[in-house]
Amino acid sequence: MNYRHAYHAGNFADVVKHIILTRILEYMKLKDAAFRVIDTHAGIGLYDLMGPEAAKTIEWKSGIFRLMEAVDNNELDAETSALIAPFINAVKAQNTTSDIRYYPGSPLLTRHLLRKQDRLSALELHPNDVKTLAKLFDGDYQVRVTHLDGWLAMGAHLPPKEKRGVVLVDPPFEIGGEFDRLASNLAKAHKKFSGGTYALWYPVKDHREVKRFHQALYDTGIQKIMVAELSIRAASLEPRLDGTGMVIVNPPYVLEKELKLILPALVKLLCEDKGAGYRLNWIRKEGDGA
């Protein structure tokens, strides 16, 4: 309840997470049928990078600022630039000048990419944040903002009536047990909506916990679980945010190929030392036994 993403908005973890989200949504749009996005920990939707919270940490300078600078200077190859263009355009859409002051969180980023037939369910538990989020989308018939614990939504809001959907789970990880909650709630949600695409974010801080989390995901027996991680430095002796991870269940079939282009480019741009890198692997593939 005390977590404020405004301190971290636009950092390297946001950049990686949101680029992956945009690639998933762009794939969903290839079919005419409507889909729903369920954002379980939506936040306030839009972040002022010049505000007091972001100014205190300036994490965005080593995240979205570096990426936008590289784009403006044409430092990325054409194929990678095309893949991240939906994300870049969504960020630029929130800014009236070439300088990036406002950064869209996942609900606003998602809304920018939706077609007229698609819908967004944005859930937020914090009483002040949900009011801010609701005001942002006031009058938007394609978005429903709900004051609710996002963990509950993985059962109560599934399956969506559209029968196609993306579930983004982006918990703050400010209390213990979040890895366990991710794995257990995914297992419950998958039983209700096995055909959905799930995108689960996690921090790479305690590497032993991450390894245990991956084993817990394997133990669910769910097939088609892919993991993408990007680290900006070598593993620290004491827990700190060395990297960012995304678990994607039922990923678009093109996503692995796309990330093999995107992640190396992001490592080069966002790295802090020679220990930076990425990994892209499968916890379970289709056809693996439980």
Catalytic residue chosen out of the listed positions 14, 39, 129, 170? 170
Which helix (H) or strand (E) segment holds residue 186: the answer is: helix 178-192
Take residue 91 and report the two structure tokens written for it: 């960020």
214 known member of a binding site: no
Q: Is 48 in the active site?
A: no
Q: Are 172 and 36 in contact (CB under 8 A)?
A: no
The reply to whether 149 sits in an annotated binding site is yes
User: Rounded to an integer, what distance in angstroms lies between the CA atom of residue 166 and that of residue 196?
Assistant: 6
| Nearest residue to 42 via CA among 162, 165, 159, 132 | 132
Q: Which of 193, 35, 63, 194 is closest to 119 using CA atoms? A: 35
Distance CA 11, CA 18 (A): 11
Please name the residues in contact with 29: beta carbons below 8 A apart, sequence gap of 6 or more: 113, 115, 118
Q: Is 170 annotated as a binding residue?
A: yes
Q: Residue 184, annotated ligand binder?
A: no
Residue 72 marked in a binding site = no
Binding site for S-adenosyl-L-methionine, by residue number, is 18, 41, 106, 124, 149-150, 170
Binding site, by residue number, is 18, 41, 106, 124, 149-150, 170
Active-site residues, by number, are: 170
